[in-house]
Amino acid sequence: MALRNLRYEGDEILRKKSREVPLVDDRIRMLMDDMVETMYANDGVGLAAPQVGILKRVIVIDVEDGNIYKMANPKIISESGEEAAEEGCLSVPEKRGLVVRPMKVVVEYTDENNQAKKLEAEGLLARAICHEIDHLNGVLFIDRVIDDKIEE
Ligand code: CO
């Protein structure tokens, strides 16, 4: 595994839409593993491929629920509830702000073994999934902040 360089707000790659991954092969698995290592090295709970300069629909998440999720082509197929909570982002260091997200989501994705999976998530895990999928569409949490007082 290897650390990858993070991209930061202002880098136009963070505003681009990522492409679907047709097959989770060794190359994608290596990307996923590198992303996990990079996430841990920066004390993050999630990371999306554009944050390391790769415009592919790949995200990794570890919200300390005992699981590391490595997802290709994640897609939210249903959501319910709403909850406002503070978010931050490794690509927008030193800023935090309140963002409204669904309480619960159901997400379909392809896992690191190229198997189709469906996951029901709530709370912080649901929030992390939504935040990381936003990255795949060129959206940053600062676009969604509701309290208008992003802390620097
Ligand atoms: Co982020």
pLDDT in tens, 118-129: 999 999 999 999
DSSP 114: S
Question: Among 3.60.15.10, 3.40.50.1100, 3.90.45.10, 1.10.15.40, what is the CATH number of 12-151?
Answer: 3.90.45.10
Q: How far is the CA of 20 from the centre of ligand 1 (A)?
A: 19
Mean pLDDT over the full length of the chain:
95
| Structural contact between residues 24 and 116, judged by C-beta atoms closer than 8 angstroms | no
Mean pLDDT, range 39-60, rounded to an integer: 97
Question: How many CB atoms sit inside 10 A of residue 26's CB?
Answer: 7
Q: How far is the CA of 85 from the centre of ligand 1 (A)?
A: 14
Structure tokens given for 121: 């998530």
Q: How far is the CA of 65 from the centre of ligand 1 (A)?
A: 19
Residue 111, pLDDT > 80, answer yes
Residue 149, pLDDT > 90, answer no
Residue 151, pLDDT > 90, answer no
Q: Which residues are catalytic?
A: 132
The Cα 37–Cα 39 span in angstroms is: 5
Q: How far is the CA of 47 from the centre of ligand 1 (A)?
A: 6
Give the domain ranges of the chain: 12-151
Residue 146, pLDDT > 70, answer yes
Whether the full predicted model's pTM is greater than 0.85, yes or no, is yes
Q: How far is the CA of 141 from the centre of ligand 1 (A)?
A: 7
b or e along 119-150 (b: 16 or more beta carbons within 10 Å of the residue's beta carbon)?
A: bebeebbbbbbbbbbbbbebbbbbebbeeeee
Residue 148, pLDDT > 80, answer no
The Cα 70–Cα 37 span in angstroms is: 12
pLDDT on residue 126: 98
